Amino acid sequence: MDQQPIRRVIGRRQERPVGKLGAPTPAAQRWSETMAVRETRVPKGIFRYATMEEANADWERWHAELVAEMARKRRGPGE
């Protein structure tokens, strides 16, 4: 296999020690805060379905409820 050699290295990767996590970056913190206020409308728990159609029906119902609720919130009270 003819591979061209790497001509230049820009920066260096800093590996973290195994088993140690660093503090979250500011971008990771913003993402976490943004996702914390999101609603899924999917109830917590373990669901067992006989068919994929049953599972899809529940998922579609939950998603439709979320879309309807978000539309109500955007319109505001009394509209």
16 against 64, higher pLDDT: 64
Residue 57 inside a domain? The answer is: yes
Domain extent for 59: 50-79
pLDDT value at position 78?
64
Report the helix count and the strand count for the chain, using DSSP H and E.
Answer: 2, 0
pTM of the model: 0.49
pLDDT value at position 41?
80
Average pLDDT over residues 31-47: 85
Residue 70 inside a domain? The answer is: yes
Residue 35 inside a domain? The answer is: no
Number of domains in the chain: 1
Residue 71 inside a domain? The answer is: yes
Element (H, E) at 67: helix 52-75
